[in-house]
């Protein structure tokens, strides 16, 4: 059991906490599909005697196009109505921005959103369409946080962090609760492992809590150009800053303070992949599965198809979390061009 650092209360971050979060938000989020693909699983199996079957949790079909609505909705559901009187505020490159705008609209409150100026155009437009009031900032975490705090002081809006908060973590962990349940109910299989992308670490930490005690092994997937989580695990010290231009824009943030010890304790390994591997995985999903995922969502599959995974990873039934599908359609052709 790991205690959060929530200044208002002590929240035990456990699998039971994830289950309680799911009971609270289940009717407010989509139960997204779990898909398989024989072609991609065959590529992963190769000449091995033990077959690999991938079970893809498609959060690209979620409200707002990504898993983030789970944490945002849970965070708002845990607040009293008077705590929402001045609205809510966050900083995000796009997916949490959209999620909070949707959740705030459902609650009838104002959402102030700080977005890096280099955010994907589609995510900016979507956030605006959901009613978010956007202010732009520089791309780094300190720049985002400075602008957010400035606006928060002016408005007294309630801060809803994108990943470094216990209610966010518990909400995001519901992704794995669903994936495990659906894999068993729809396919008759128990997961052996799951690969989850890591940026700020809310999704990874939540899934690690959800997996604890179930026998499902949890692995993290990270761009090599934004490998702060991998380096932090190696050194035993959280890396507080990330400066990167990785195509996986949703993973450009450092792992959160609350998330890091959860990841240290419950995640088996963090594996990194190149930009070329990320884009190749994204292209493979479009070609073989006929669905669109954003670069950040393709990182777990890139790991699963890498030589490093084939050497150190797990065979059998592997969960792959497609975290979202928010990508600029006018840029997708350039992204997916073969080198």
Active-site annotation holder among 4, 57, 63, 68: 68
pLDDT for 47: 67
On the CB side of 258, how many CA atoms lie within 13 Å of its CA? 26
pLDDT for 140: 79
Q: Each residue of 76-115: pLDDT tens digit?
A: 999 998 999 999 999 987 789 999 999 999 999 999 999 9
Q: Each residue of 163-211: pLDDT tens digit?
A: 999 999 999 999 999 999 999 999 999 999 999 999 999 999 999 999 9
pLDDT for 6: 45
Q: Are 267 and 229 a contacting pair, CB within 8 Å? A: no
Which pair of structure tokens corresponds to residue 145? 């946080």
Give the DSSP letter of residue 247.
S
Q: Where would I find the H helices in 55-94?
A: 68-77
Active-site annotation holder among 4, 57, 92, 93: 93
For the chain, which ranges sit under pLDDT 70? 1-10, 47-49, 338-339
Q: Are 292 and 327 a contacting pair, CB within 8 Å? A: yes
How far is CA 191 from each of CA 148, 255, 291, rounded to the nearest angstrom? 40, 26, 23
Query: What is the C-alpha R_g of the chain?
Result: 19
Residue 93: active-site member? yes
Q: Give one DSSP letter per residue of 203-244, joined into a string.
A: HHHHHHHHHTTTT-EEEEEEEGGG-HHHHHHHHTS-------
Residue 68: active-site member? yes
Hey, which bits of 6-132 come out as E strands? 12-13, 34-35, 52-58, 88-91, 111-116
Instruction: Give the CA angle between residues 248, 194, 306 to the nearest 5°.
Output: 55
Q: Are 144 and 116 a contacting pair, CB within 8 Å? A: yes
Q: Tally the residues of the chain.
A: 339
User: E strand or H helix at 321, and its extent?
Assistant: strand 316-322
Order the strands of the 111-116 sheet from edge to edge.
133-137, 111-116, 88-91, 158-159
Instruction: Please choose, from the candidates 163, 74, 91, 184, the residue with its C-alpha nearest in 3D space to the C-alpha of residue 133.
Output: 91
């Amino acid at each position: 059991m790991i205690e959060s650092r929530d200044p208002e209360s002590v929240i035990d971050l456990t699998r039971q906490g994830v289950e309680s979060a799911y009971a609270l938000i289940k009717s407010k989020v989509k139960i997204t599909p779990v898909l398989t693909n024989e072609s991609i699983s065959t590529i992963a199996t190769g000449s091995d005697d033990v077959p690999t079957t991938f079970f893809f949790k498609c959060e690209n079909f979620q409200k707002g196009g990504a898993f983030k609505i789970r944490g945002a909705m849970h965070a708002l559901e845990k607040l009293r109505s008077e705590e929402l009187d001045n609205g809510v505020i966050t900083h995000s490159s796009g997916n949490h921005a959209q999620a909070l705008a949707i959740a705030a609209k459902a609650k009838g409150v104002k959402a102030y959103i700080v977005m890096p100026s280099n955010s994907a155009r589609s995510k900016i437009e979507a956030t605006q369409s959901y009613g978010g009031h956007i202010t732009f900032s520089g791309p780094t975490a300190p720049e985002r946080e400075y602008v957010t705090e400035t606006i928060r002081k002016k408005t007294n809006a309630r801060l809803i962090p994108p990943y470094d908060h216990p209610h966010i973590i518990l909400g995001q962990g519901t992704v794995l609760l669903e994936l495990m349940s659906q894999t068993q109910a729809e396919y008759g299989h128990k997961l052996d492992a799951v690969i989850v992308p890591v940026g700020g670490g809310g999704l990874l930490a939540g899934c690690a809590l959800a997996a604890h005690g179930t026998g499902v092994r949890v692995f993290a997937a990270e761009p090599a150009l934004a490998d702060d989580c991998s380096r932090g695990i190696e050194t035993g010290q959280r890396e507080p800053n990330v400066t990167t231009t990785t195509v996986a824009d949703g993973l450009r943030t450092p792992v959160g303070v609350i998330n890091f010890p959860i990841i240290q304790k419950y995640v088996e390994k963090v594996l990194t992949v190149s930009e070329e591997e990320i884009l190749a995985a994204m292209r493979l999903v479009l070609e073989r599965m006929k669905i669109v995922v954003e670069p950040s969502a393709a990182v777990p599959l890139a790991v699963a198809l890498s030589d490093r995974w084939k050497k150190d990873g797990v065979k059998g039934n592997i969960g792959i979390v497609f975290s979202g599908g928010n990508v600029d359609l006018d840029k997708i052709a350039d992204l997916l061009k073969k080198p």
